[in-house]
Structure 1
Amino acid sequence: MIVTFWNGRSSPALPVVGNIARMESAIQFTNEDSWMEGGIRVLYVDDEPALLEITRIFLEKTGEFRVDTSISAKDALENHSIPSYDAIVSDYQMPEIDGIAFLKIIRDQFGSIPFILFTGRGREEVVIAAINNGADFYLQKGGDPKAQFAELTHKIRQVVLRKQAEASSRESESRFQQLVEQAPFPITLNRLDGSILFTNKKFLDIIGWTSEEAPNLKNWEKLAFPDTKFMVEQLNDWKKRVAIAINEGRTIEPITLPIREKSGEERIVEFSSVLFRDNVLIIGYDMTERIRAEKALKENAEKYRALVETSPDIIWEIDTQGIFRYVSPQIQTIMGYAPEEIIGRSIIDMIPEDERPYAIQEMKRVFSKGGPLPLFQVPVRHRDGHTLLFEIRPSLSEIPGNVEGYRGVAVDITERKNAEDALKRSEEKYRALVETSRDIVWEIDSKGTFRYVSPGVFTITGYTPEELLGKSLLEFVSEDRRADLMQELTRYGSLKRTQTPIEIHVHHRDGRVLTIEIRPALTETHDEMEEFRGIAVDITERKNTEEALKKSEEKYRALVETSPDIIWEIDREGKFQYVSPQVRAIMGFTPEELLGRSIADMVPEEIRPFMMREMGRMFSMEGTIAPFEVPTRHHDGHEMVIEIRPALTGTGDQREGFRGVAVDITERKRAEKAIMDANRQLKILGGITRHDILNKTTMVRGYLDLARMEVTNPGTAGLLENVESGLLAIQSQIEFTRLYENLGAKAPRWLSLDSVIPFSQVPESITLDADVMGVEVFADLMLDRVFSNLLDNSVRHGKHVKEIRVSSRQNGKDLVVVWEDNGIGIPTGNKEKIFERGFGENTGFGLFLAREILSLTGIGMKETGEEGHGARFEIQVPNGGFRVS
């Protein structure tokens, strides 16, 4: 609020601001007319011309005065415009009209024009007469001219100013009254005790009362302050303030009080007081709206400060040089710096050195723009040294026409940027996957029209993506599946979740029908129209394979379920997972009775631990597992023998269990036992018979030896030789029966070839070279007999054999062991006959027995040599029947 008083004719006088301090000094007015127009106009009247001239010169020399002179009072009254002068200086002793008479005329006719009596007479009665008639000053002539005229100058100036002040005061009072009445703020003039002498209309307006309702406002305090105690306290406080101002020459401090209007509404008024002519001038200022605004502003400031200080982002302000003037507390969380560490530093300090050229260029680009500033990104350095990326959202900080700096928000987008980069890399990766996928990645709109098809469509259907874009999916689906496809897609859209894939038939470009599996996913819904994207997989081969597998399963299921043996499967714990129906016919159990039960339950209790250990051992085995026999019981309790032919299920560390065939060998075992019993009896009988026959032949040969000693006839001696030859044949055949009887009597074993070659039986004239070290074959324990017979054949029938060589080689999956010599060889026509029983010049049992021994474990033998170039026997060992270390 500014209150200004002026005299209405020139520029405003001293303004009073705020609490109108020292208003009394402000209510001053000056008549500036004389000075503005050339100084103070003075009329000097004296009957001595020389004194008139010298006085004029002295006064005008100061530059403040413009002096007119007159030789007498009469001349002055007749020839000069008395009212136009600011002051009159007159001598006392003059002809016709003296100075006192002249003073009386001036006062009677022209009022209070300043009048100074300047005379050489210093009589007391003259001075009294001058004062009594209204002279302003009396000055005696004589003495030092310089001092006298200086005194005169001072007196003129003083009296003029005083008169002007009095005139102005009268005028100002009128104008002040008018100003107070018209003032837009409440004004009162109060006595020192607080009672009101005068108030303007605005004061009445602010308390809501009229002068008629509150005559003389004697009780205005009670109207404005319903709380009597509060009113008394405030009035006493105001009086103390006034007393201090009077005693100490201070300004009265303003006071702000709540005032109750007539309507009951409370208003806040600031009262400023100033001492004014033994009273107190009080001016009120209605602060209600301002205080409300200040309160709202404060609340807003607090709200925005809270928003700034709790913002997850950094609020900042810099000057035009880039120096931080404010940083919000969040900078500590995001960058590790306290706000105090940043304020006063340059924004450039926060940017990594290698990034500064780019950042400075970017900031210049942004800050050089007018109007709204664009967003930009800039790297910054965290306190611990790692780099962050900020998105800067700036705005100008300005007063009209002048940019003071910039303020804005700094958002840490490091994670977002990393995520965007990761997403971009992911998009590139998945785009590459999509573009190189053997399957078809597709997208259709709500009408089923292709919006995207991956290149894989060409490999599968023969169509390029460009040929399909803009066309309907239904065009490529066989007619019998179109309705089903639309129904399935509609169901997908209504369920809003992933369902099982859809199989459709489509036509290849060359006309073939393909089976395609569609895996759709709902992407968007607009006005109940669904849009889909998904993958289409060519499952034609899979469907064909599944169909073939189904047929195969049906075939093998039929085989399993009609097999005369039991097909079974157990898990790692030995519990049945499957048992074929034949179990009922063989063992009397239904499959349902066995499912979930342990296989150990099917064997006698005493061998269960052994069986479980064997199963554990077999779990770690590789390759084929040999069949084994287990005793068991029928459902009705009778004993049975089952041959188990198992195979492991699963692979490597993922063994799942066993499956296989269970064959009822109970009858076979009974037959085998009967045969074994019969063989045992025959063996006993054969042994007794061989023993008796050999004893008899030995006895006969003894008698033959005695007879040869007695016979001298050559003919008779020849007959005796023939008898002995027959006896030797009988002995050889008896020995063969013993050997043949032992054939297969013991289980085959792995035998080293190097250990069964008869090195000790080779004659000194023959060299035997065997290259079979490390070779083992699975054969009968009589394998050494095979090689002894081969050696006997080479020695007995090779005629001139000097070298024998034994070697081995693989032939496909089999092993071929070769026995060859450098004798006369075997005639072509006898190559098979030599293996027949009884063929040859000797007993005829050697090679026959050798082939029989080998055949027990599936090993074959044949002669492949060339007649005249030595014999060559090849022993063929099948896969699995040999091993080489």
Structure 2
Amino acid sequence: MDESIRVLHVDDEPGFAELTAEFLEEADERIEVLTASRASEGLERLGEERVDCVVSDFEMPGMDGIEFLEAVREEYPALPFILFTGRGSEEVASDAISAGATDYLQKEGGTDQYTILANRVLNYADTAAAKSQRERQLDAIEAAQEGISILDEDGEFTYVNEAYADLYGYDSEKMLGMHWSALYPEDELSFAREEILSTAEEEGGWHGSSTGVRADGSTFVEDHTVSTTERGELVCTVRDVTERKERGRALAALHEAATDLEAAETEDEVYDVLLEAAEGILDFDLVAVDVVADDALVQTAWTLDLDTEGYYEETPLDEDTLATRSYHRQETIVVDDLSGHEVTPADPEYRSVLTVPMDELGTFQAVSRATGAFDEADRELTELLVGHAREALTRLERERELRQRTEALERQNDRLEEFATIVSHDLRSPLSVAEGRLELVRERYDDPHLDELSSALDRMSTLITDTLTLARQGQLVTAPDTLSIAEVASRCWGRAPTADATLDVEDATVRADADRLQQVFENLFRNAVEHGGDDVAVSVGLLDGGEGFFVADDGPGVPEAERGEVFERGYTTSEDGTGFGLAIVAEIVDAHGWDVSLAESEGGGARFEIRDVGVVGRETK
């Protein structure tokens, strides 16, 4: 099953569209962005490819964003649509929402806007997918529960299903042979004869609202359809509009709850909204949320009375309960009567239960002291509500992990900077004193040992410089730029001691820190010349699949047994080398979140492959 989230971004500025696509795809590996420069092109792509969410500009030639939205809604009424525009006004926002936009975002400076957009895309796409699945289930449920009956030429029932009989409060078998007029109040009979039956006979069918009367004398508004058959029979389908209106109000209230869940900033806020909706919208009295912790379901939020007999604080996952079953199976469990059930309830007074899994997070459970308290509508609405809560909790967990990772990286940067400062100040000062004293000694004495001492001091200076570079280049890359590999590589090649060496570059665009990417190429070029000679041939190209790039040469290469050691600090095959050059490359690659490895080139030399870069486009130069 394809788990990718395909986003269609329509914007008449190709540069901005490409930048937005890059940020969205970097934000989450599931996101795949399709682009279009006009609304008409966007409509064509919608007809040709699967799209999970549309992001559109407002001001575009031919058809603006609102007109595009209206065209999309005609064919794809449930497809998430986000208006992402630089023109911000209450009028545009109002028009967008009125036309059916899922959301409205204004373009701003900085990269935070892309993070917000990515989060909205993920939430709306996931919610739409879940909603689509739930709506398919609801459609099947509604069809199965729809009241259906058949009348003969005399207007008497020859067939009624259970849903039809239940709707009017009769036993289905006792309704057979009953005349249809028994289901209408006196003042509705003339309407039924002159409007419903007459229209059905003349036109083959009728659909509209009418008033039904139940066995107990109560009335209700019914959505009524009557169709004729070739044998002169009438097929009637009836729904209780009153019940459907209540369901509609519940769905609208759940939508508001979903908005509150999306805005929740803590787990406690999510639980508060979840319990409030369960009580106020679904009319559940006894509710508990169990969260997985230390191989147990721990009751974290509840409306249960803490003094209730049998109350529990946690349940081991290996214990057999309805909650653990629902969690392990990842399926909703509804029990109409717990008396005599194989699983004993926490409180013997509980008679029915509804348990919904929250993926790997835990379970949501509603219980009642009445039998059959939860019908299919309760189940579906609860799954919808719990789905929104689960998404909110998952979002908060991702945000917390991101904050923790960012804080850890910032601490790492601080430690590296502190180390670099110590090296710079505490080592260079005595080294400078030693170099000065050496010059004074040279003025008084002519001794060959002084040349060796000078070489040692020079090597110490080089080691300090490389150590500083290694520390600072390993810091987290927080503000990458969009760079051309060809331009950076060519600039670095001009600075390297290349002599008669040659360079061939296949261009691509990458997101990187300019100075540190330059350091990577300089070190790799210097390494190629030092080991391959003045006439070495070096090539820079893209890896298959566009997942990164490589720097290769036709020099002597590195034995396979030693390739895992070349990036270690201090590794060198040269008497004059410090062993920091390739270690610095590895640190810079790691700071970008990339990966580097060494292989053999086509010419038998070294081939440094840098992956997980995310290159865009290619052009041979």
TM-score tier (shorter): 0.3 to 0.5
Greater RCO (CA < 8 Å, at least 6 residues apart): 2
TM-score by length of 2: 0.37
TM-score by length of 1: 0.27
